[in-house]
Structure 1
Amino acid sequence: MGILDNVLRGRRDDADLGKGLWRRAHDRFQRGLDRYHQVLEGVEDDSLYAELVVMADALSALLPRVRAVCVKCQRLAPSDDFDVPGEFADVHRALSKAGNALATTAEAAAMLSLAVGPVPVGALSVQRRAATVLEQVELSERLAGIAAAR
């Protein structure tokens, strides 16, 4: 991706997400996703890697859904600062929890990749945290009135 692509994407993000609250929620989720993918680069066990990649794909599929929620909220309650509009506080809370859960999912994957020897429960801890991410994204969609496209 070139410099021009980055500039154009930034302008599109500014138009769609604003520069405040909803942009920050989207970007936090994106950073968590990036971190999860960085963790994958360090996984040496092939079976664990395969398990974590399946979760990476599922988590990546959530980004457009998070973006759709943020775009809709920006359209209905524009934000160029970081004050949470009262009627959208629950949506913002769910998005924040999704971003935080994604960060802890990446952390769990990193800890799992550092385990020495076979891991008896596999990536169960990562799966539980990834399930929380999905739950919070689905909640944000319901609260924002967006039907989940599956």
Structure 2
Amino acid sequence: MAFLRDYRAARRDEAELGLGVWRRAHDRFRRGLDRFHQILETLPDKALAQSVVPTANALADLLPEVRAICAAAQRTAPSSSHDIPASTGGYLNDVHRELSRAGNAMAQAAEALTMARFMRTDDESAAHRLDAVVRRAEAVRGHVDRARELLERG
């Protein structure tokens, strides 16, 4: 049964996101989000994990937005290759750049969370390390918002 479910999901993704740059931008973001949650699940300090849950939820809430942006971009300018489709004023390049930056910021948030896992609970830098995770998550949000704005204006 899982095979059929996976097949249908792949077909839906292909129909909505295509096989080009928009699909890859979405998939990169999703992989970063999955990695963030994998790291969160393996944190040995449960108090630390609980303090990161709101940030993890906020990041997870961005996935449908990223999917909607990528699907709208695919409808606007279908892509089936590695090339970003041409657009007036190059706004689609900017949309793709912001989606890429969101994926990179997501990876940096996962990296910051990994570093936070090695802190001691009595460490003075503990709050600073968690702040780094939150700052990275805010950067992800900013890039997603900017990509949406650019697409809407284009």
| TM-score of the pair, normalised by structure 2 | 0.90
2:41 and 2:51 map into 1 onto residues whose CA distance is 13
Root mean square deviation, CA, Å:
1.4
Structure 1: runs of 5 or more not aligned: none
Where does 1:88-127 land on structure 2 (aligned, <5 Å)? 88-118=92-122, 119-121=126-128, 123-127=130-134
TM-score, structure 1 as length reference: 0.93
2:150 to 106, 127, 143: 143
Query: How is 1:6-17 mapped onto 2 (pairs within 5 angstroms)?
Result: 6-17=6-17
Where does structure 2 lack aligned partners over 5 or more consecutive residues? none
Aligned-partner residue type, residue 16 of structure 2: D
State the partner residue of 1:86.
Answer: 86
Structural mapping, 1:18-97, within 5 Å: 18-87=18-87, 88-97=92-101
Give the deviation of 1:56 after TM superposition.
0.7
For 1:67-99, what per-residue CA distance to the aligned partner results, in whole angstroms no more than 9, with x for missing partners? 000000000100000101232000000000000
Say which SS state the counterpart of residue 82 (structure 2) adopts.
Answer: coil
CA separation of 1:82 and 1:49: change in aligned 2, threshold 3 A: same
Task: Select between 117-126 and 62-71 the one with higher mean Cα deviation.
Answer: 117-126
Q: CA deviation at 1:122?
A: 5.4
SS in 1 for 2:128: coil
Detail structure 1 runs of 4+ shifted over 4 Å in the superposition.
none
Do the aligned partners of 1:36 and 1:109 also contact (CA within 8 Å) in 2?
yes
Report SS of the residue matched to 1:86. coil
The letter for the 1-side match of 2:140 is V
Could you tell me how far apart the structure 2 residues matched to 1:28 and 1:51 are?
26
Percent identical residues? 47
